[in-house]
Structure 1
Amino acid sequence: MSDATYAPANASNDLIALGDSITKAGVQGIRFTTATVLGWIGAMKFTAYEAGAIEGLVASSPLTNWLYSVFSVQGASNLIGATEIAVAALIIAGAKFPKAALLGALGAVATFLVTASFLFTAPVTEPSLGGFPALSVVPGQFLLKDIVLLAAAVFLAGDAVKRIARNS
């Protein structure tokens, strides 16, 4: 084989290896930043400030408004916060344990599906700008990030399934 035909293949393999390394770093970044967001926001749910801040969102959704018939505003917020912290812990544990990764990722998918659904149930448009597609800062733009976090959670679920399959 001549040097001319060997060099491009070698360069291609080097780029593939580099891409694999970057992807592995990205997976870990997605894992730990998703867990950080969930854990931090979950911890905030234990404050009266955050319980009051989410009250309108929770009350506006048919998926979550029932919480206030069972719990107080703070009690519902505490339950949501505890769930978010547990999901974050599973995602972190998932760095070592693929089954925990899958449970955490599925919990995050459920969490972000619910919060993304608030885009359809809460008043998220800005009337002073003519309504849709102009989003209000809160809650519209605040909630918009959840569709990216939903995609990250789906990605983590897929990664966990692959890891579980490799370990079988």
Structure 2
Amino acid sequence: MGTQSAVSDRLRSAGFSTIRYGLALNLLSIGRLKFESYEVENIRPLITASPMFSWLVARLGEHRLAKLIGVTEMTMGSLVAARPFAPKASALGSLGSAGIFATTLSFLATTPEAWQEKHREPKLSLAGQFLIKDIVLLGASLLTAADSLQGGRQSR
């Protein structure tokens, strides 16, 4: 049993590290893309159809809003990665990223292009398929938040 427990502990540790740094890399990479014109084109249907973002588009413009989103994503990614030396800040970044992914999942309900309209039952379009992955990233955000909060208590 001791060997199984040791293997399990190593797998759990490797899994959490993979989740944490994969999440951080996703946020940093996706955030950086928001400074590219083609990415502004890609997110246009999502942000203009969203009641949460459409007023910001009108107020800031698409490019400035995309940059604001990008800075937010990169900040959360950096905080998520900070777990070894700042677990409380990392927990904050993980909770912030959970908010980001919950928001992007809301686009499934607000973006007409997320669903194929020619089918009787709901079927995701390419845009919907792109968004659905955020369920996994939301789960990763919640797990890394819990792990960071636990680490913050252990470092006291």
TM (norm. structure 2) is 0.94
Q: What amino acid is the match of 1:75?
A: R
Q: In the alignment, which residue of structure 2 is the partner of 1:109?
A: 98
Which structure would you say has the larger RCO, counting Cα contacts within 8 Å and 6 or more residues apart?
A: 2
Look up the match of 2:148.
Answer: 160
CA contact (8 A) 1:102 1:157 kept: yes
Q: Where does structure 1 lack aligned partners over 5 or more consecutive residues?
A: 1-11
**What percent of counterpart residues are identical?**
36
What is the root-mean-square deviation of aligned Cα atoms in Å?
A: 1.2
* Structure (1 or 2) with the larger CA radius of gyration: 1
Counterpart-to-counterpart distance in 2, 1:66 and 1:147: 26
Partner-residue secondary structure (3-state), 2:153:
helix
Question: Which residue number in structure 2 is paired with residue 121 of structure 1?
Answer: 110
Counterpart of 1:6?
none
Secondary structure at the residue paired with 2:63?
helix
Q: Alpha-carbon deviation of 1:13? A: 1.5
Alignment of 1:3-152 (within 5 A): 12-123=1-112, 124-132=114-122, 134-137=123-126, 139-152=127-140
Distance in 1 of aligned mates of 2:120 and 2:101: 28
> Mind listing any 5+ residue stretches in structure 2 that lack a counterpart?
none
- 1:16 is matched by which residue type in structure 2? S
- Normalising by structure 1, we get a TM-score of 0.88
Distance 1:121 1:131 in 2: 18
Q: 1:46 to 1:163 in 2, by over 3 A?
A: same
Runs of 4+ residues over 6 Å off in structure 1: none
